[in-house]
Amino acid sequence: MILFRLLPWEYGVRNLFRRPGRSVLTLGALTLVVLLVFVVVGFVRGLETSLAVSGDPRVVLVHSLGASETVEYSSIPMGHAAEVWSTSWVQRRYDTTYASPELYLGTRMQTEADDQPTLGLARGVKPAALLVRRQVQIVEGRWPEAGEVLVGRLAAVKLGRSDDALAIGKTIQFENRTWKVSGKFAAQGSAFESEIWCPLEDLQQAMKRQDISVLALTLAPGATAADLDEFCKERVNLEVEATAETAYYASLQKHYGPVRWLAWLMVFLIAGAGVFAGLNTMYGAVVGRVRELATLQTLGFLRRAIALSLVQEGTLLAAAASLTAALLALLFINGLAIRFTMGAFVLRIDSVALAVGCGTGLILGMVGALPPALRAMRLPVVDGLKAV
């Protein structure tokens, strides 16, 4: 309970408008700091969300032993794959097996407008892939036929090109062949959106390979990934194992753990820089008001009350800056696609990002205002009244 008389709330608010130039500069500096925090947190949240929504708890990936994090280096003979998808562990409906043999690789790709190729992600699939990859939906065009490809919503971003470069009807070259774009698909923000899909047989012919990288299966009711893994190791091939798709992307989350920690460290450093910027600004504001603060003490206001009023001013500015930065982040940062090693994903300004960004802004306002307020209160009243 506060046992001393506080300055009126309106006093701190009016002070912000008595010095509009200084207030606007402080507001702009705090807005920029909080906006940078939103960018970094949006990056972390976008990466985590992309990996989280990519895994399907009903899907199991069969791949080479030890390739649980690098399926592009996996190799499974088609004979072994057929033996796996014929088991009772795999879901079937109307004589249709929910099994997707896939050939996945990173390769050099070149669009019509490119002078130099760029690294992209290709996945050879069959139509059954749409049964297993339930999050994938064709949003434009149609399923690819021989010599055609289906491009993900973020495939152009992964290649560093505009969406027009991979529009329907355009061509793209990779693996010494020219492919025509037949359609575009979305996958609810998952990692598949960075890929380019083409018929499995065509990609095998282009690469002169008869094997596949991974076999994606939908489990039958009651089946588990452990059951399928045991079958693969005991009856199929000791060099083949099965991993739940959720576990696969969880391992990728762990793999990119240092990147996320580095991003959070950047948030801390940006916030620290913002605190020092706020300190400099608030010190300048307090130094120019020494006589005013001394006069308030002669009127009977305690130093604690005056210090709280200064903190109130800093907090109000920080709150306004946080709201402004949040609005800018939602308008211009949220949904912005960026390239990354795993492909591409979009920055996400969700509830967590808003809480972290706005919370950081408020902390900057309060912490930045405290030291100069306390320093000003240490000055004797007589010296303060003589200050120029």
195-199 and 118-125: which strand pairing?
parallel
Check residue 43 and give its pLDDT: 87
Burial status of residue 149 (CB atoms within 10 A of its CB: 0-12, 13-18, 19 or more): buried
Check residue 376 and give its pLDDT: 65
- How many other C-beta atoms are found inside a 10 Å radius of the C-beta of residue 72? 16
Check residue 382 and give its pLDDT: 62
Check residue 3 and give its pLDDT: 56
| Type of residue at 62 | V
Residue 263 host element (H or E): helix 257-287
Per-residue tokens: 93: 């409906």
Cα separation, 246 vs 162, in Å, equals 31
- Say how many CA atoms lie within 13 Å of 108 toward its Cβ: 5
Per-residue tokens: 275: 């605190």
User: pTM of the full predicted structure?
Assistant: 0.80
Output phi, psi for 125, to 5 deg: -140, 170
Cα separation, 332 vs 339, in Å, equals 17
Cα separation, 73 vs 66, in Å, equals 10
Helices 20-54 and 351-377 pack at an angle, to 10 degrees, of 150
Cite the DSSP H helix spans in 127-215. 129-132, 155-159, 200-207
Burial status of residue 1 (CB atoms within 10 A of its CB: 0-12, 13-18, 19 or more): exposed
Check residue 379 and give its pLDDT: 67
DSSP, res 336 = -
10-residue mean pLDDT profile of the chain (388 residues): values are 64 72 81 88 86 84 77 82 80 86 91 86 93 92 94 92 91 93 92 93 92 89 83 69 85 79 81 69 65 74 76 84 94 87 84 90 79 70 60
DSSP codes joined into one string, 58-71: TEEEEEETT-SS-G
Output phi, psi for 319, to 5 deg: -65, -45
Work out the widest C-alpha separation in the chain, in whole angstroms. Answer: 94
Check residue 310 and give its pLDDT: 78
99-111 and 171-174: which strand pairing?
antiparallel
Output phi, psi for 239, to 5 deg: -95, 10
Instruction: Yes or no: say if 240 and 80 are a contact pair by the CB < 8 Å rule.
Output: yes
Check residue 1 and give its pLDDT: 45
Q: How many DSSP H helices and E strands does the chain contain?
A: 13, 14
